[in-house]
Amino acid sequence: MSQTGGFKNGPRPEDGVRSGDLPSSDANESRERSDRGYDAWERQILDSLGGDERLKADEELQDGVRELVENYHKQRGMRPAPMKVRPPRALRSEGQHIALYLENISVSFDGFQALHRLTLYMDEGELRCIIGPNGAGKTTMMDVITGKTRPDRGVAWFTRKCNLLAMDEVDIAQAGICRKFQKPSVFEALSVQHNLELACSGDKSVFGCLVRHLTGEQKDARDRVLERIYLVDRRDVLAGTLSHGQKQWLEIGMLLMQRPKLLLLDEPVAGMSPQEVDRTVELLKELEGEQSIMLVEHDMAFVRAIAKKVTVLHQGTVLAEGTMDEIRNDPEVVKAYLGEEQC
């Protein structure tokens, strides 16, 4: 190592790109070079440890190395490049069909660690239930996926094409990730049918919405969605007159009109009657396989009825993962969340 902290035969922090050094036409290429130099410099530091694999695998040491590299770049006005340009190796492997790839995601708010090294993978077409106590990090994780919150560190990819940490909320939505919040959000002064028509993928400008004419294909899609969400006979009524459960179905239908690849649903059966819950189970089982679905829910009866794989979050990280039976019999999960009476 030289006196300046660089390496003789390896990349240096100076290999990064200072803001304004290159014309905008070269921006993408320069960012890729910066990322490669940044990651290579970090690897060079770890490789300098020699053959001690225990040191290389030490998480605290890795944190320290990354912090060193980030601070060096920030002090010199260089782009820190906290994300890799190329997708992780697991996504590039043949035969892999991973829809969502989250690895070592950490988020803190004023000293509170909302997520700590959270790692989660979802396959294409999978329906995954996320459970955990309040404050476990479920909402923050969805905020990271949709671009609402930027993590302090970690890697987040949607398939092998979309680096979520390099995209804004609009780009992420256009890539096919749609989110439904707990409280239904529909246009109550419009009919059920018009709500679905407004949600069609296409020009969302005011003028575009006013002059839009649905194609035959879009009309067929609307009618199929109406059947799926059990609202065919309510298509002409105002959305404001629907029951709470029907509004939940309508909002799910509005998301389906956008042809999503990943649905994020936050407590979709909260406030529903038992009959509405049963029909929601049928709806989501029908959707499984057509798109990936991540579902946050506290209703354990609903989770047992629908889940093939459950992930338990606790204190911002994954506590356990498996089938519902495996989760119910995990003593750590019982202690942290479910409670003896639920098992």
Predicted pLDDT at 255: 95
CB 311 within 8 A of CB 321: yes
Cα gap 89→91, rounded to integer Å: 5
* Phi, psi (degrees; rounded to nearest 5) at 206: -60, -45
* In the predicted structure, residue 123 carries a pLDDT above the cut 70: yes
* In the predicted structure, residue 125 carries a pLDDT above the cut 70: yes
**pLDDT, greater one: 293 or 78:** 293
CB 121 within 8 A of CB 99: no
Instruction: Look at residues 150, 180, 179 and name the one whose alpha carbon lies nearest to residue 163.
Output: 150
- In tens, the pLDDT along 217-258 reads 889 999 999 999 999 999 999 999 999 999 999 999 999 999
Predicted pLDDT at 54: 59
Across the chain, mean pLDDT equals: 79
Q: How many CB atoms lie within 10 A of CB 142?
A: 20
**Amino acid sitting at position 307:** A
Cα gap 314→133, rounded to integer Å: 7
pLDDT category at 274 given cuts 50, 70, 90 is very high
Q: How many CB atoms lie within 10 A of CB 249?
A: 26
Task: Give the range among 44-53, 106-115, 215-224, 240-249 with minimum mean pLDDT.
Answer: 44-53
Q: What's the whole-model pTM score? A: 0.72
Task: Give the range among 21-30, 229-238, 281-290 with minimum mean pLDDT.
Answer: 21-30
